[in-house]
Amino acid sequence: MSNARVVLWGIIAILLLAAVWIFSSINTLPRQDEAANAAWSQVLNQYQRRADLVPNLVQTVKGYAAHEEKVFREVTEARARVGQIGAPNPQDPKSVEQYQSAQRELGGALSRLLVVAEQYPQLKANENFLTPQSQLEGTENRISVARRDYIQAVQTYNTTLRTIPGRWVAAIFYPDASPRANFTAEASTQTAPQVQF
């Protein structure tokens, strides 16, 4: 074999390996996009669970603390704002930030509601209060886990979009693929509301 043929076969082998490497990556982006979508749905699911628990908790505390009308109004209004915003587009950072802001507001209002509940010893022993409060605390933890899972899925997806060969695959096969927005949290919102007994 002549040197030209060896070089030609070498170039063909390199091109074939590159093609195999790129084509093996073609389904990576859609898989990661779907994983991020599923993680986002779980975040929304947990926020919805929290919103569903709020009316029961408010009504129970209201029965014991009728004069705390301002707190009840804040919780109800914050929950209504969350409902009005609806599910954000995870590829639109403004939409995600607006949604997060409403969720932070609801979390703060719930913290104030639980502080009011602390002032009523007989309420703390009432089963009608303990059940939704326990479920709400569990939901806050679930929200934290769901957000963590979403952040990890977004990191994987965005990294694939920005690195080679994912960048090339996206440019050729998925030109409309764009990075997803991620959660940003203020230091005060990184912990679930706590009630001390």
The verdict on residue 195 lying in a domain is: no
Does the pTM surpass 0.85? The reply is no
The verdict on residue 194 lying in a domain is: no
> Looking at the chain, how many residues does it have?
197
Query: Which pLDDT band, with edges at 50, 70 and 90, does 69 fall under?
Result: confident
For the chain, the domain total comes to: 1
Tokens 């390996």 found at? 17
> For 22-53, how does the pLDDT look when each residue is reduced to its tens digit (9 = 90+)?
777 788 999 999 999 999 999 999 988 888 88
The verdict on residue 173 lying in a domain is: yes
Query: Which pLDDT band, with edges at 50, 70 and 90, does 176 fall under?
Result: very high
The verdict on residue 190 lying in a domain is: no
The verdict on residue 152 lying in a domain is: yes
> For 94-131, how does the pLDDT look when each residue is reduced to its tens digit (9 = 90+)?
888 888 888 888 888 888 777 777 766 665 556 666 77
Give the CATH number for residue 143: 1.20.1440.20
The verdict on residue 196 lying in a domain is: no
pLDDT at 64 over 50: yes
* Mean pLDDT to the nearest integer, 189-195: 53
Residue numbers of the domain that contains 140: 3-184
The verdict on residue 63 lying in a domain is: yes
The verdict on residue 41 lying in a domain is: yes
Task: Check residue 42 and give its pLDDT.
Answer: 92
CB of 96 closer than 8 Å to CB of 180: no
